[in-house]
Every structure is written in structure tokens, then in C-alpha cells.
Amino acid sequence: MKLSEWIRWWSPLVVNNQWVVFALGAGLGLLVLIALVRAGLHIREYGFWNYLKSTFTIENETWRLIGILLLLAMACAMVFTQGI
């Protein structure tokens, strides 16, 4: 695809309204704040070392989800590299 085709394809998707960008940023900031507060509460209750051990523990169902997402990502990559 040429650059002009990409620009024409992306044009309807570009957000020019500053309030939409502000709302998305505020929502993301709120999610990060909630995550930090929850992490702080868990660290205070259980200690930092237990928090680190539980953070990096991956359960069996999580491995299955990671595998499915990797397969989906590979399928998407194969579709988009064929040059539709």
C-alpha cells in the first residue's frame, strides 16, 4: 500500500476532539491509580516479598490463555503478511 492509501484509510479513525483524548487519558489514569492502590494494599498486608512471588506466579489456566493469544497473533500476522 502506498502512503496516500494508508492516510486515506486511517483518516476516519483519527480523533481530533481534545475532550475525547482527555477522557481516554483520564480513564487510563484512573485504572492505573486503582491498580497502584490495590498493589499498595496487598504489599502492606502481606509484605513485599510475598507480593513479588504472587505477582510472577502463573497458573495453568493462564498458560492456556497465553497459548491461545499467541496462536491468534500468529494467525493475524500470517493473514496480514500475505498482502491482501
Evaluate whether 56 touches 64 at the Cβ level (below 8 Å).
no
- What's the pLDDT band for 71 if we cut at 50, 70, 90? very high
The Cα–Cα gap between 6 and 48 comes to 48
- Same domain? For 7 and 29 the reply is yes
- Same domain? For 30 and 10 the reply is yes
The pLDDT assigned to 14 comes to 62
- Same domain? For 2 and 42 the reply is yes
Q: Which structural domain range is residue 73 located in?
A: 58-84
- What's the pLDDT band for 37 if we cut at 50, 70, 90? very high
Residue 80 lies in a domain: yes
Nine-digit cell string for 80: 496480514
Single pTM value for the model:
0.51
Task: Summarize pLDDT for 46-57 with one digit per residue, the tens.
Answer: 999 988 888 778
Residue 76 lies in a domain: yes
Phi, psi dihedral angles at 16 (to 5 degrees): -105, -5
- Same domain? For 7 and 28 the reply is yes
Domain count, the chain: 2
- Same domain? For 28 and 65 the reply is no
The pLDDT assigned to 69 comes to 93
